[in-house]
Structure 1
Amino acid sequence: MHQTIETLFKAATEAQARERYKDAFRLYRKLFEICADHPEANYHMGDLSVAVCKPEQSLVFYEAALRQRPETLLFWISYIGALSQLGMINKAKGMLIEAERLGLDDPSLFTLKKLLVETTRAMNNKSSILDETSLSNALTSADKMAKGGQIRQALKIYCDILERHPDNKRALANYQKLAPAELNRMSMIPREPPERIVKTIQTLLQEGQFHGLLKHAARLVHDYPASVALNTAEGSARRALLQHEQAISCFRKVLDVKPKSASTHFNIGVCHMEMQNPEAAEESFKTALHLDETLTETYRHWVMMRKIAPNDEILSSMKRLYKNEALSIDQRCSLCFALAKAHEDLKDHDRSFRYLSEGNALRKRSLNYDLSQDQELFEAIYDWDNKCEAASLQPVGKNPDFTPVFILGMPRSGTSLVEQILSCHSKVGAAGEFPYISNFSNAILQSKVCPSEADMNAFREKYIAGVKRIAGGDAFITDKFPLNFKYLNIIFTLFPTARIVNVNRDPKAICWSNFKQYFSGSGLGYTYDISDTVAYYTMYRKLMGYWYEKFGNRVYNLDYELLVSNQEDESRKLAHYVGLEWEDAMLAPQENKRIVQTASLHQVRQAVYKGSSNQWKAYERHLQDHFSSLAE
């Protein structure tokens, strides 16, 4: 029954949005036969009545909606607007007082009150435009004002006319047409959900529960269509789900309300950057900085898109801003990373390293990171694995209808390139950096208890549904979350037929690339200190040695240096391990059009090239003491 009601409601609102009013009326009435008190349906039926110029019929529907949901502000605004449109000013005022008595407090109510006062004044004003001109001229004047956007002035003239000529069809029709437009404009005054709801939405976003956030947002959008918090969160979630066009649409709704929101222009710029629209991205970044030059993450993203020249205006702006002592830790941190990249482009490596060191120190301080946090985590992994082995934790569930391919290793080891190569194949879908395994495994480690078979099966189904929503229904789906290297026991328990590709690279290149990269998340705190980075890499190598002893050739080791120097042979070996028939498209990963959001998003658009593992040598004199313990 519930499904039938919701199906009818969805069909009715879609028909209404497409202005198929007869279909909408029919569907709403069919819904009312099942549930006459459906608040949203009654509200939309009221709107539909107004849309077909029958505002007198809307009242019964708005009243029904308010009986069920008196706390919904939008219902009150529409009801009072319909009363005003019908000339029932005193009743409209009474309903406005009732709404305020219920504790509803919003700028749109204040604006509505002003409109009612002006309407009353216009209707009671002894002086009338008809005292000065003819009816024909008054109508012409009002029509011109309406076309020119002077809605309130036009409404006043129509009120003057209707006071003396209540049956004037032209004045009445235009008044009824304009009043809803003015009320609709007021309904778009930004209204935010209660603070507790906003916090729930933000928590879902922070925890990466993007689909849950979208479901929550869908229930709120009718009541808060112009909510800055809601549209910003939905846009961020859709960007994370690679739904960039929809994300931009959400962010533009924010700009409709706050056109000078620098952070929103920045968000749109990032979407364009990830969609490989550099001109559009640059335009948005310029706008963001024009509005707020202290939004320094804009510089950090912008410089990654281009090579900086000595006389570049962006470099001058960043140097000037660097002298601003009022910058926060996070603002200065992003600016330092941007300046480091700029001076690397200029081959001023000493200055680049100074900015990079300062930015990293600020980031580590902001995250309150200490290496002991990861040391304890790695020890917990060994302890937990021994405990579960003793408890004989067995593989669960049937094999899924696709082969999961986990591409893992240290961040910046070449995992993005490997995913690009594989996802060029016609039978491979890419889920990108999908954090489900990591989040689930970390929760297990914190509990220090082996999960039950039921828990494992439930998570497994959630994981399968999640990757399919992103990657589709391909025969092979890649999950390129590098830190999954910590959880191979969990992966093989969940998916015994999974393919594991561990990407190796020169350890000095990895450590340097980690240290020079700003990561937006908070889970890579070790990267902001070069000594911590070397120590973390050592723990990674030790753990992978442990997994090799346990799982043997079920784990495929791919050497990044061999891949870039002998691309076809290594790619063919990779395809064979995964279980793919060779396709020549795998030789052109730079042609892959899928959206990439990782730190490698610019590199993967280039043809495979050699030499990137030697970039650290330009900074060798700053690094040699730290790198002395790394094996080649």
Structure 2
Amino acid sequence: MNTNNYPVANQLTIPEALNRAYAHWNAGQAQQAEQLCLQVLQVVPHQPDAFHLLGLIAHAYGKLDLAIDYLRKACLFPAVPATYCSNLAEMCRQKGLLAEAEQAARRAVEQEPQLIAAWNNLGIILQESGKFDASLECLQRVVSLEPDNPEPYNNLANTYKRLGQFEQAQDCYRRALALRPDYAEVHSNLAFLLNDLGRFDEAVASAEKAIDINPQLADAYFNLAQIEMSRMRYAEAQCRIDALLAFAPRHAGALTARAQLLMKRAHHQDALACARQALSISPDNAHAYNVLGQVLQALGQHDEAAACFDRAAALPGTVAEEALVARAALFMEMGRKEEAIAAFDYALEKFPASTRVMAARSDSKTYRSDDPDIAVMEAMLVRAMQPAISDRMSLHFALGKAYLDTGNSERAFFHLDQGNAIKRATFSYDEAKTGEWMQKIAAAFTPELMEKFNDAGAASERPVFIVGMPRSGTTLVEQILASHPGIYGAGELSALSHAVDRAGIFPGDLARWGKEDFARIGSDYLSRVDDLAPGALRLVDKMPANFLYAGLIPLILSGARIIHCRRDPVDTCLSCYSKHFAGEQLFAYRLDELGTFHRGYQALMDSLRKVLPPERFLEVDYESVVDDLEGQARRLIDFVGMPWDDACLDFHKTRRIVRTASVSQVRQPIYATSKGRWRRHAAYLGPLLNALGVAAPADDAQ
């Protein structure tokens, strides 16, 4: 039965009504077009052309779910134009439904092989699905068919970038801009590429140009925020995300980036809410699942975190590699080393040429000189297609670790110097200002101040603070204490710095604080940690940088104890220099700055040692723990006021989460190989030794 002759409104036939509807749409009269389509569907409930136009209208009004629903109905019919399937593919891509998008796009190109828009859509979908070689083939076809169209060059460049072919990507971006200088999307994408190449100022300028051209281009704000995060300019990144969310409050990528920024400031509950909001908007967003996993991991919800990493890895997209690495690292953190090794192996199986996996698994193993990983990582650094600068940095640190393991000082420091230099170039650090700050802290804590407010703080015996330089044995001491059934090791908490920051400027405001202020800061701190293992008699806060607040702790928490971990200064600094820290240790990436910072830290602790209450302050030397584990362990347990438990001697068997650079070492029994380790590498430590005022050992002593 021919339904085309059925009358619609005003006695129009179906074809006449549809033609008029499309004419209204093309003239910008969406409401009239929509009314005619709905009238057509009243007469012919499954008319595909009407569904298609309704889908375009819904999409124009930002109703993506409705648009997809309409286009799905349009594409149910086998003979619909290929354009309908191509449009459905693009809308599914925007929704993150990449499998359905690919299926629709492939149907479009099969129906009409000359439909350039369909090949273009398919190329983008394959790119976002992580199928880069197939994407490249599609987009090269589009470029050959439309050599004067800038859009395919932009899309092709994006795929080249994903493949790590940065030179080809840059050429394509430049070609697109030559064809269209005001192409905002290309300026934004080029910014992200320049960031990967380590050309940060150029990257920022390119992203800002994109925003100047199109102030509503969401990706430009997002890319600019990512660039600022990569060089640890978190306040600037926050401004960009706030600007994006001001006009796109439901932008899932922006909400995910905000969650990452909140994590950087240790506002984990707020980060959790942001990540969950992103997923409520984009339920199949792999990046949001990956970030949610990171937040849950930081909150100690490890099974839930693993499930999120699994989900991120399973979803279509380009996040799977990162998620699989995160999953393996989570197992390391949980002390499940065999599962971690298996997870790294699986990640390499899925991504055989992954620099990220190779570098990430370096802490899970001790290298031998014949380890094939060493040759593979060396080859990755010299291949024609260079890794992104962040991956190069990770490879240098991994190789530095590998060569330290094998005793090859020359190669170790070649790579460590390279890795540290790359990292150091990403941020600003004022050595003199940091030193002056520590001097001000030392001067603020006078005997008179300590005496005046010695009973001002909130009374609690529960907190135990472990402070000192990173890599000075703080994790080892925490693990010994946390092996006691009555003591909870909380890891590196930001609770104290948050409580102090909330009260004012430190140490500038110290002179005006009274008894009530000190008590309030202490109560604020306790409120932040009260929910952590409430049944434990002692809670260990192992944030090494809390040495900056060591003088303040007795004033705000009158019952708290402080354990200061010390280690040979050169061994400490060498260990710092060999690690790419997850947190912000800005002083750690140049040997001379490391030494200067350590001298400032020593001077501060020398000053505080004179005023801290001796019954609440204990100093523990790493070397003493290595030489006399039981004696020092008993001393620690006695200091925190707990009865002895033999489990403290088997600390390496304790199943608990360890979130520090010492995650692998703390799972092993005490070993003495790191004592005096620096002497074997003294020839490469000149700037550090000079800054510390330490003489290089004689050749025969190395």
TM-score, normalized by the shorter chain, greater than 0.5: yes
CA distance in 2, matches of 1:89, 1:377: 73
Which residues in structure 2 correspond to 1:39-188 (within 5 Å)?
A: 99-100=58-59, 102-105=61-64, 109-119=66-76
Contact 1:205 1:237 (8 Å CA) reproduced: yes
Determine if the alignment matches structure 1 residue 533 to structure 2 residue 566. no
CA distance in 1, matches of 2:612, 2:47: 78
Shift in alpha-carbon separation, 1:223–1:391, aligned structure 2, 3 A: farther
Q: In structure 2, which of residues 253, 259, 278 is the aligned counterpart of residue 201 of structure 1? A: 259
Q: In structure 1, which of residues 375, 384, 388 is the aligned counterpart of residue 435 of structure 2? A: 375
Which ranges of structure 2 fall in alignment gaps of 5 or more residues? Answer: 1-40, 81-99, 105-128, 130-247, 698-702
Aligned to 1:558: 620
Aligned to 1:215: 273
For 1:116, the aligned partner's letter is K
Which residues in structure 2 correspond to 1:174-573 (within 5 Å)?
A: 193-194=251-252, 196-218=254-276, 221-258=279-316, 261-289=320-348, 296-324=355-383, 326-382=386-442, 385=445, 389=449, 398-400=458-460, 403-441=462-500, 444-445=504-505, 448-450=508-510, 459-522=521-584, 524-553=585-614, 554-573=616-635
For 1:572, the aligned partner's letter is R
In structure 2, the residue corresponding to 1:255 is in which secondary structure?
Answer: helix
Shift in alpha-carbon separation, 1:194–1:560, aligned structure 2, 3 A: closer
How much has 1:414 moved relative to structure 2? 0.7
Shift in alpha-carbon separation, 1:98–1:541, aligned structure 2, 3 A: same
In structure 2, the residue corresponding to 1:242 is in which secondary structure?
Answer: coil
Contact 1:278 1:305 (8 Å CA) reproduced: yes
Contact 2:58 2:67 (8 Å CA) reproduced: no
CA distance in 1, matches of 2:686, 2:543: 30
Which residues in structure 2 correspond to 1:19-34 (within 5 Å)?
A: none
CA distance in 2, matches of 1:474, 1:89: 68
Deviations 1:416-469 (A, max 9, x none): 111111111111011101122234446744683346777655654443243344
Shift in alpha-carbon separation, 1:615–1:397, aligned structure 2, 3 A: closer
CA distance in 2, matches of 1:269, 1:583: 33
Shift in alpha-carbon separation, 1:317–1:496, aligned structure 2, 3 A: same
Deviations 1:45-74 (A, max 9, x none): xxxxxxxxxxxxxxxxxxxxxxxxxxxxxx
CA distance in 2, matches of 1:506, 1:606: 21
For 1:300, the aligned partner's letter is A
Contact 1:381 1:445 (8 Å CA) reproduced: no
CA distance in 2, matches of 1:367, 1:297: 22
In structure 2, the residue corresponding to 1:550 is in which secondary structure?
Answer: coil
CA distance in 1, matches of 2:353, 2:530: 40
How much has 1:117 moved relative to structure 2? 1.3
CA distance in 2, matches of 1:462, 1:301: 37
Determine if the alignment matches structure 1 residue 576 to structure 2 residue 638. yes
> How many percent of aligned residue pairs carry the same amino acid?
26
Aligned to 2:219: none
Deviations 1:541-574 (A, max 9, x none): 1111111111141311112222221111221121
For 2:62, the aligned partner's letter is G
Shift in alpha-carbon separation, 1:206–1:213, aligned structure 2, 3 A: same
Contact 1:438 1:483 (8 Å CA) reproduced: no
For 1:546, the aligned partner's letter is S
How much has 1:200 moved relative to structure 2? 2.8
How much has 1:391 moved relative to structure 2? 13
Deviations 1:62-114 (A, max 9, x none): xxxxxxxxxxxxxxxxxxxxx99xx8999998986775464234xx5554233
Contact 1:395 1:493 (8 Å CA) reproduced: yes
Aligned to 1:9: none
How much has 1:347 moved relative to structure 2? 2.1
Shift in alpha-carbon separation, 1:95–1:491, aligned structure 2, 3 A: farther
Aligned to 2:178: none
Shift in alpha-carbon separation, 1:567–1:194, aligned structure 2, 3 A: closer
Contact 1:504 1:558 (8 Å CA) reproduced: yes
What do you get for the CA RMSD once the two structures are aligned? 3.8
Deviations 1:170-212 (A, max 9, x none): xxxxxxxxxxxxxxxxxxx9x9745553343232122111122
Shift in alpha-carbon separation, 1:120–1:625, aligned structure 2, 3 A: closer
For 2:255, the aligned partner's letter is I
In structure 2, the residue corresponding to 1:597 is in which secondary structure?
Answer: coil
For 1:463, the aligned partner's letter is Y
In structure 2, the residue corresponding to 1:551 is in which secondary structure?
Answer: coil
How much has 1:596 moved relative to structure 2? 0.8
Moved more, 192-201 or 484-493: 192-201
In structure 1, the residue corresponding to 2:675 is in which secondary structure?
Answer: helix
Deviations 1:110-144 (A, max 9, x none): 54233211447799xxxxxxxxxxxxxxxxxxxxx
How much has 1:241 moved relative to structure 2? 2.2
CA distance in 1, matches of 2:486, 2:277: 36
Shift in alpha-carbon separation, 1:594–1:557, aligned structure 2, 3 A: same
In structure 2, the residue corresponding to 1:406 is in which secondary structure?
Answer: strand
CA distance in 1, matches of 2:451, 2:56: 67
For 2:657, the aligned partner's letter is I
Contact 2:499 2:524 (8 Å CA) reproduced: no
How much has 1:236 moved relative to structure 2? 0.8
Shift in alpha-carbon separation, 1:496–1:346, aligned structure 2, 3 A: same
Contact 2:59 2:67 (8 Å CA) reproduced: no
CA distance in 2, matches of 1:446, 1:569: 37
Shift in alpha-carbon separation, 1:583–1:539, aligned structure 2, 3 A: same
Q: In structure 2, which of residues 648, 665, 676 is the aligned counterpart of residue 586 of structure 1? A: 648
Contact 1:508 1:616 (8 Å CA) reproduced: yes
CA distance in 1, matches of 2:673, 2:421: 28
Moved more, 581-590 or 378-387: 378-387
CA distance in 2, matches of 1:95, 1:493: 68
Determine if the alignment matches structure 1 residue 612 to structure 2 residue 670. no
For 1:420, the aligned partner's letter is Q
